[in-house]
């Protein structure tokens, strides 16, 4: 598991953490090849993103 939640570069990562990231990416590639593109822990669940503050990016896209 990664020590921090922010990844700004790989210099601070151990080789074990880099392999963990690559293994996770490989697992997600396998998920994309399935008919049902959900990982087992998320089957039958909905994932929603909630934003509690105005977003400059969203505001700008609606202004265009």
Of 61 and 35, the structure prediction assigns the larger pLDDT to 35
Look at residue 15 in the predicted model and tell me its pLDDT.
92
CA angle 6–7–8, rounded 5-degree value: 115
| Rounded Cα distance, 29 and 25, in Å | 6
Average pLDDT over every residue of 42-60: 73
Domain map (residue ranges) of the chain = 15-63
Write out pLDDT tens, residues 25-49: 888 888 888 887 777 777 788 878 7
């Amino acid at each position: 598991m990664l020590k921090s939640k922010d990844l700004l570069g790989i210099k601070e990562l151990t080789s074990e953490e880099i392999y963990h990231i690559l293994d996770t990416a490989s697992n997600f590639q396998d998920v994309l090849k399935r008919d049902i593109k959900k990982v087992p822990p998320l089957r039958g669940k909905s994932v929603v993103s909630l934003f509690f503050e105005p977003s400059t990016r969203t505001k700008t896209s609606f202004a265009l």
